[in-house]
Structure 1
Amino acid sequence: MSPISVEELYIFHRIDREVFFRLVIRLARNPAQSLLVMAFWLWIESIKYPKFITKLVGLSDPLINTFANEAVTGLRCLEMEYDDTPESGGGLPLTTILMQEEISLQFFRQKRFTIIVGIRCVLNKICARIFTDILQYLLGSANTSTSISYPSHYRPLVVPGFPHPLFGTFTIPPINFEELDLFDPRIWITMHGYDDGATDDDKTMFLTFSRGFPVTKEEVWHLFTRIYGDCIKFLNMGNGNINDQVLFATMVLNNVEIVDRILNGMHVAKFRLNGKHIWARKYERRDYI
């Protein structure tokens, strides 16, 4: 098979590139924020709503701007504390119309960690490759024309606004045809969940138990597999205290979607097993510092 060129990659993603160009050039929106909006739209296409961006491209710039504002409203919910996240179902009325299915701010709350991992993966696997020349022109190119060209390489370019507190780093690498894996299906095929971008930290729950009510590893394993099926990758019970009772555990799940299913939009989920309480929340590394 002959090598696939970057130009062919751009052609394949021409509609995504046109919408991004309109966001950052014609509408002069913030580049980092626009990358997150595009990553969200690409991710949402991959899980349930194909051709969403294709529908956007035929709209006027003011309408695309409104859709971008709705996406930003949703993305900001991911950064909010749980108590501050709106409980109402509203927030994205035009997006709901275009998708022909309701998508509310509750969607961002209930699928918080799945969305974060998905956007992070899309940013680095897709956006970093298909928007390179547009970002180079916007942020660092010496070219003063309004056209977008396809040079064979670019100098490294960091987008202001990254690293992001939720989505991490996003740095445009120099393109090297030997290093750029154009056969990676993730830059061509959109219908997948991007869970391969999740680390073990992304899929880890922190469990706590009540003092005086010992919980065994077998009980924890049985509880969660009974409710969520074969969901546990591994389970580490914490060190015992004075009475050798384990008071906490870390549970690494098979995929990040189970994290959202367990929490169901809450900061802490509460379970009861054999008269004992188990509390589950998302693991954060600082818990062990």
Structure 2
Amino acid sequence: MACPLFSAFMENPSSSATAVVTREEFHTFHKIDRTVFTRLVYTLSRDVDQSFLAMGFLMMLEQFGYAPDLIASLCSVPDTVLDALANEVSVCINLLFNHHFASTVLAANNDANTILPLLLRITKGRFTLTLINANREIFCTSLTNNWNDFCVRAFEDICEKVRKFNREKLMALEREKYFEELRNLRLGCLQQLSPNRNVQNVTVAYPLPPPPVGEEGNTGAAARMLSEEERAARAAAEERTVFLTFSKGYPISEEEVRVYIIRRFGDVIGTIEMQQVEGEQPLFAKLVLKPSFASMMEEIVSAKGKNKFTINGKHVWARKYVRKNMFAASSSTHV
């Protein structure tokens, strides 16, 4: 929701010196925002980071007066409408943060009705492609402020729960696939050992390897049984993978990387795999671009194949991922 009332409360001289707003009070104030965000990430299974930005964008529409009480009204709309609106918001965010995408869309579409029909109806025709392009800097600043000042604190706990839920769901799917492969392997062995007998009456005793455990469990027999299609898909993913290295002594989190990349290049991130270390800072990470944004590789790593970013005062080097880099990075010196 728009936050002038809350800001005024925080700035009130008679209360700000002594009153501290707890997390529970803040969550209560943003209950409607949290309800809509929960629908986006749970009911509609939309990307967490994309939904995070979408909420900041909807708050901005309220704050600038384009759609007063917008978020409250979204609590009662059908899921299909909310999903369609979130798609339009995603387009707007890409227009704001991705100059190449903006120039392509604006050149190909003179009529915003074909791209933002819901937003045009909600804002009574005022929020157009031309308006977005003309006020890019103002909107980007407002969206960034909403992200930092409200969204992080209002949705952080929900984000963590969703990410944990998604990790557990992925692990369950990988475990199910693993056991299915083992069942097929066992059936194949039985058929080879006794082609003329009823397979169900044959017992072959041999130990099964343990199932995958944790996020690194996709190894061993299951990994060796990758199909040609899976190997090709993995190779294709590596073609859109950026290898990031961090300066030792300047720890940086996955969330910091996500926020920076999304702000600068748009919603291009498929996955981020930080180096797994115990009690030490990660020194490298793999950032896999979404398939639809594979063409952004050169823009991110630059034409020279290596680029330098400064994220919250910390240097990050980016280059195109090559498999050998994963092994070299763990022994190299980071500057």
What TM-score, normalized by structure 1, do the two folds share? 0.49
- Structure with the bigger percentage of helix: 2
Higher RCO (CA-CA < 8 Å; seq separation 6+): 1
Task: From the CA coordinates, give the structure whose radius of gyration is larger.
Answer: 2
